[in-house]
Amino acid sequence: MIDLVVFTVLWVSVSLLFEWIFHTLVHYGVYYYTATTQAVDGEHAVAFILYVLAPVIAFVVLMLVYDLIRFRARKSDGVLRSRHQFRTNKLFIGIWVLISIGLNLLFFVHPSASALEQMFNSEQARLNRQDLEVDVVARQWQWFFSYPQYGIDDAQDANGNSILYLPVNRNIKFVLRSYDPFHTYAPYSGVIHGFWIPAFGLKQDIIPGETRYMYVHTSKVTSYNVNPMVRVQCTEVCGPGHPFMVAPVNVVSGNDFQQWVNQQKKMEGQ
């Protein structure tokens, strides 16, 4: 009985310690850097899971350490195993299985199912809005960005490199395609790429022959120069140039975005 009391006190203490550690981690950012509302929602989901699992993690770790120290076999026992060892405990196993099932059901409902419902509702609502549309074409090993609503066919910086500009506090619709303009002998000659902006908290595979979509809502003015997480990064191994398939992202104010649009039109001779 004394072991049960001691273990319970230690378990509560370690659980509180883990909760404090996870709270500190969440305070400083689970995703390290976020620039969209979707990334913030993802952080909240991870935080919920960490807070719920803190007592479970504390129990497993403490049980291993406590048993290793408290019930280890000693030379004075004269045997190769501890006198306290037993093979099974049906009550403990039953409780552990029920708790495991309950936690899995909880996480299935929230944040998994609830987050999916929120995403579906959000995308359905966007059908009636004029989001900023950005066409994204991936090829080995470069990104191409175009803005059909503004007549921009290939967004580039002053050095001719692809660059992505977005206005802050706007809903963005990415239209994702894979294509290789240097190999036109087949209708869909591209390879699989992965469209990922770490600070946006979302990733979408780009499949040859398919058109895929990704929606985000930008939440802060930022850029690749401010934080390297604000970049487009390919996440599918697509050949020897895969590590260098990167493009900088700039999230700017509405006025600065309009100025950039005008500059792009001048560069394209419009």
Domains contained in the chain, number: 2
Q: 148 and 263: one domain?
A: yes
Per-residue model confidence as pLDDT tens digits over 58-91 = 999 999 998 888 877 666 655 555 555 666 778 8
Domain coverage including residue 208: 132-267
Q: 101 and 159: one domain?
A: no
Number of H helices, E strands in the chain: 5, 10
Amino acid at site 85: Q
Q: 111 and 150: one domain?
A: no
In a domain, 119, yes or no: yes
Per-residue model confidence as pLDDT tens digits over 10-25 = 999 999 999 999 999 8
Written as tens digits, the pLDDT of the chain (270 aa) is: 788 898 999 999 999 999 999 999 888 877 788 899 888 888 888 889 999 999 999 999 999 998 888 877 666 655 555 555 666 778 888 988 999 999 889 888 888 777 777 666 666 555 556 689 999 999 888 999 999 999 998 898 888 899 999 999 988 999 999 876 555 544 445 789 999 999 999 899 999 888 999 989 999 999 999 999 999 999 999 888 899 999 999 999 999 999 999 999 888 776
In a domain, 42, yes or no: yes
Q: 257 and 147: one domain?
A: yes
In a domain, 83, yes or no: no
Per-residue model confidence as pLDDT tens digits over 173-197 = 999 998 765 555 444 457 899 999 9
In a domain, 249, yes or no: yes
Q: 198 and 263: one domain?
A: yes
Cβ neighbors of 233 (< 8 A, separation 6 or more) are 194, 196, 197, 198, 245, 246
In a domain, 65, yes or no: yes
Q: What CATH number did the domain enclosing 232 receive?
A: 2.60.40.420
Write out the H or E segment, with its range, that includes residue 197: strand 193-197
Amino acid at site 197: I
Identify whether the C-beta of residue 120 lies closer than 8 Å to the C-beta of residue 213: no
> What is the rounded (10 degree) CA torsion for 117, 120, 123, 125?
-70
| CB-count burial class (<10 Å; 0-12, 13-18, 19+) for 218 | buried
Q: 97 and 154: one domain?
A: no
pTM above 0.85, yes or no: no
